[in-house]
């Protein structure tokens, strides 16, 4: 158990819809990262938050947005969903005082867009 | 885009044999990490090697790093069925500004035949 919690585990929705994925980082971790994993693109970095502030942006589409709340949990919002958005979405955290550089991953949210 | 590229894409060996996976990357790095992912699960950190290190061991794992060739290898000795998984190398994306996420390769899928 990494200590990172993601909900929901599975989500099936239709094209054009909007979903929200939630992540609770490990206790004390300040950084949250979102990744998308699909068969063709591999593991793609989407966005990083640190203590509530956006820290880095990767290949995140404009239809996607994220935020980190004062209690450090994070949400990834995916809107106007397309078939190609079907993927595993992972949240990871890091950032304790002695950050070793490793990321701790949740078990992911599997999104299926029909 | 992928920073690290693993080779081979897939590897099937007999239990008890050694498994070697390679990773090449494109730009200068602070450190390189290896992660394991069991099918459909979250990634788990295995080992981290810093840019000033050449070799590191952890249990049955041995990692080497050649910064002149921008490559790394992961050796798993005396493989077990439980080692069946995908293995990813990851490099740290940024050295400053606080952004410290990882860029992952597409992974090597390792199958250990009993």
- B101's enclosing H/E stretch is none
| Whether the Cβ atoms of residue B38 and residue B88 lie closer than 8 Å to each other | no
Pairing mode, if any, of strands B55-58 and B61-66? antiparallel
Residues of B at the A interface, defined by Cβ within 8 angstroms: 2, 30-31, 33, 35, 40-45, 48, 88, 92-94, 97-107
Residue B26 has pLDDT above 70, yes or no: yes
Res. B1 pLDDT band, cuts 50 70 90: very low
Residues in chain B closer than 8 A to A110 (CB atoms): 40
Nearest CB to A42: which of B35, B44, B106? B106
pLDDT digits (tens, 9 = 90+) for A47-92: 999 999 998 888 899 999 999 999 999 999 999 999 999 999 999 9
Q: What pLDDT does residue B35 have?
A: 96
Strand order in the sheet with A74-78: A5-7, A19-24, A74-78, A64-68
Question: Which residues in A5-99 belong to E strands, given as ranges?
Answer: 5-7, 10-13, 19-24, 31-38, 42-50, 53-57, 64-68, 74-78, 87-94
Half-sphere exposure of residue A113: CA atoms within 13 angstroms, side-chain side: 18
Q: Does the beta carbon of A51 lie under 8 angstroms from any beta carbon of chain B?
A: no
Give the model's confidence band at B28: pLDDT under 50 very low, under 70 low, under 90 confident, else very high. confident
């Amino acid at each position: 158990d990494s200590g990172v919690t993601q909900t929901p585990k599975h989500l099936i929705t239709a094209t054009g819809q909007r979903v929200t994925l939630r992540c609770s980082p490990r206790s004390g971790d300040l950084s949250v990262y979102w990744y998308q994993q699909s068969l063709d693109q591999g593991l793609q970095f989407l966005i990083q938050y640190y203590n509530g502030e956006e820290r880095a942006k990767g290949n995140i589409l404009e239809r996607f947005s994220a935020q980190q709340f004062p209690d450090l949990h994070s949400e990834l919002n995916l809107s106007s969903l397309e078939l190609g958005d079907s993927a595993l979405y992972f949240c990871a955290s890091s950032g304790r005082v002695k950050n070793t550089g490793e990321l701790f991953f949740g078990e992911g949210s599997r999104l299926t867009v029909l | 885009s992928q920073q690290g590229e693993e080779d081979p894409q897939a590897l099937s060996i007999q239990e008890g044999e050694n498994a070697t996976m390679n990773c090449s990357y494109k730009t200068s790095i602070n450190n390189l990490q290896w992660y394991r992912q069991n099918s459909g699960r979250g990634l788990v950190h295995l080992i981290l090697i810093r840019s000033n290190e050449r070799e590191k061991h952890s249990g049955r794992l041995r990692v080497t790093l050649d910064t002149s060739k921008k490559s790394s290898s992961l050796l798993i000795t005396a493989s077990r069925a439980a080692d069946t998984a995908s293995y990813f190398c990851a490099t740290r994306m940024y050295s400053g500004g606080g952004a410290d996420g990882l860029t992952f390769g597409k992974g090597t899928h390792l199958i250990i035949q009993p």
